[in-house]
Amino acid sequence: MENPRNFTYEEIIELPQTSKVVDLNCVEGWSFTAKWTGVKVAEIFEETEAMENATTVIFYSADGYSTSLDKDYLLENDIILAYRLNDVTLPPERGFPLQLVAEDKYGYKWAKWVVRIELTDSPYRGFWEERGYNNTANVGGPAFERRG
């Protein structure tokens, strides 16, 4: 990021708020529909003057997990980092302080316990992607990638 910044939880929840009802779909076949409330990733980018040339956004979780998504996907779909689930503060087991609401992506892209975001102009493979899961993770698309 052009202007690296640390946000407190209070600063995040004071940013403009967005709510959406979204399905979380797992590659194992189950799904879960809920109302998610949080801040658009675009708002955080605006606050930090995110790198113009960045193509990939990496989300890091408190437990060491990581995943990435295309910056354009995040902006074009108004993707949010949620701090509330069905109008209740996100419980620790659901991802407090923040869970990425990666609409139309499989659940392994829905990073929980997000504590750091990094922008880069290089591709990135997170925990499950390094183990063969598809890096685009489109719901309805292939769960695994062929590697040559």
List pLDDT tens digits, range 45-78: 988 877 788 999 999 999 999 999 999 999 999 9
**Residues in Cβ contact with 68 at an 8 Å cutoff, skipping those fewer than 6 apart:** 56, 57, 58, 59, 123, 124, 125, 126, 129, 135
The pLDDT confidence band at residue 1, using thresholds 50, 70 and 90, is very low
Residues 6+ apart with CB under 8 A from 110: 24, 99, 100, 101, 102
Cα(142)–Cα(53) distance, rounded to whole angstroms?
A: 29
Q: If you average pLDDT over residues 23-27, what whole number do you get?
A: 92
Query: Which of 35, 41, 44 shows the shortest CA–CA distance to 76?
Result: 41
Q: Six-digit token pair at 39? A: 């801040």
- For residues 20 and 34, the answer to whether their CB atoms sit within 8 Å is no
pLDDT at 5: 84
Q: How big is the chain by its Cα radius of gyration, in Å?
A: 15
> SS3 helix, strand, coil % of the chain, rounded to 5?
20, 35, 45
Is-contact 108 61, C-beta < 8 A? no
In the prediction, which pLDDT does 105 show? 96
Residue with structure tokens 């990638």?
Answer: 145
More confident residue, 44 or 2: 44
The secondary structure of residue 142, as a DSSP letter, is -
Please state, for a pLDDT cut of 70, what percent of the chain lies above it.
96
Indicate the average pLDDT of the chain.
Answer: 92
